[in-house]
Amino acid sequence: MMDQSLATIIELQSITKVYGTGSAAMPALRGIDLTIRAGEFVAVMGPSGSGKSTCMNILGCLDTPTSGSYLFEGQNVASLSRDQLALVRRHYLGFIFQGFNLLNRTSALENVELPLIYRGIPVAERHRRARAALASVGLADRERHTPGELSGGQQQRVAIARAIVTDPTVLLADEPTGNLDTARSREVMELLTAFNRDRGLTVIMVTHEPDMAAYAKRQIHFRDGLIDDADDTVIPGRSA
């Protein structure tokens, strides 16, 4: 079973999210309880429309729940203001998206530096850390390339470098391999696994490919806005 001694980072309690109001009200999450501990690698699975992305947005402090409490490192962030949420993202979270979401016509290095700029880190250190991050995803020789000059797999690796350059507490990835072929997907998963293993980075990843989910130590399944408790499996072989 899960190592109970590890510190709890995230605790969702009875989280609901309703889109729209009145007769158009549409519950996307209907009472989610979820605990994530430091160093976990969680795969979130489930059919399309089951609320995975909605839940990830709330976990990522990009959105707030309709009700319920969200404790991030013991602090309730469910009702923070926009700017307060932005500060949580800035200092504790890293994101990887299905569509890469890099800045166009901007070099790989500058893309990776972006979160450091908002953290107010001086130029020299910024360059150093961004270069190190790019090197850690195997793109040391692609610093000057813009997204348009990189393949999909390379773009997603730049995005990973950008997500981990700030040493976040949690890395959130919504279908990071959704736009990649199997070989490229495996490269991405190897990287995430390595960061999780070597740096103790907590990773929460949405995927609907069992092959990719298999890289995770724990899988949770969404169905109709609820987590299927029975399916919350920890793969024994990969458990820490």
Partner 1 sequence: MLWETVILAFREIRRNVMRSSLTILGIVIGVAAVITLVTLGRGATAQVAAEIASLGSNMLQIRPGQGFRGPGGASGAAKPFKEKDVTAIAQQIAGIAAVAPLTMRNGQVIAGNVNWSTNITGSTTEYLFVRSWSLAAGRSFTDSELRAGKSVCILGATVKKELFGDQDPLGARVRVSGITCRVIGLFAAKGQSSGGNDQDDFLLMPLQTLQRRIVGNDDISAIFVSARDGVSTAKVREDIEQLLRERRRIGANQADDFFVRDMQEIMSTLTGTTRILTALLGAVAAVSLLVGGIGIMNIMLVSVTERTREIGIRLAIGALEKDVLLQFLVESVVLSSFGGLFGIAFGLGAAALGARAMDMPFIFSPGIVAVAFLFSGGVGVVFGFFPARKAARLDPIDALRHE
Binding of residue 26 to partner 1 (CB under 8 A) = no
Dihedral sign for Cα 205, 45, 11, 4, please: negative
Binding of residue 69 to partner 1 (CB under 8 A) = no
Binding of residue 52 to ligand ADP (CB under 6 A) = yes
Distance CA 11, CA 9 (A): 7
Kindly tell me which residue out of 9, 43, 50, 150 binds ligand ADP, with binding defined by CB under 6 A: 50
Label residue 209 exposed, middle or buried (CB < 10 Å: 0-12, 13-18, 19+): middle
Query: 191 vs 47, 157, 168, CA distance in Å?
Result: 25, 8, 15
Contact between residue 200 and residue 39 where contact means Cβ atoms under 8 Å apart: yes
Backbone angles phi, psi at 210, to 5 degrees: -55, -35
Binding of residue 177 to ligand ADP (CB under 6 A) = no
Binding of residue 156 to ligand ADP (CB under 6 A) = no
Question: At closest approach, how far in Å is the CB of 225 from ligand ADP?
Answer: 7
Question: At closest approach, how far in Å is the CB of 196 from Mg ion?
Answer: 22
Can you give the binding site for partner 1, defined by CB under 8 A?
A: 57, 60, 62-63, 82-83, 86-87, 89-91, 95, 97, 101-105, 114-115, 117-120, 162
Can you give the binding site for Mg ion, defined by CB under 5 A?
A: 53
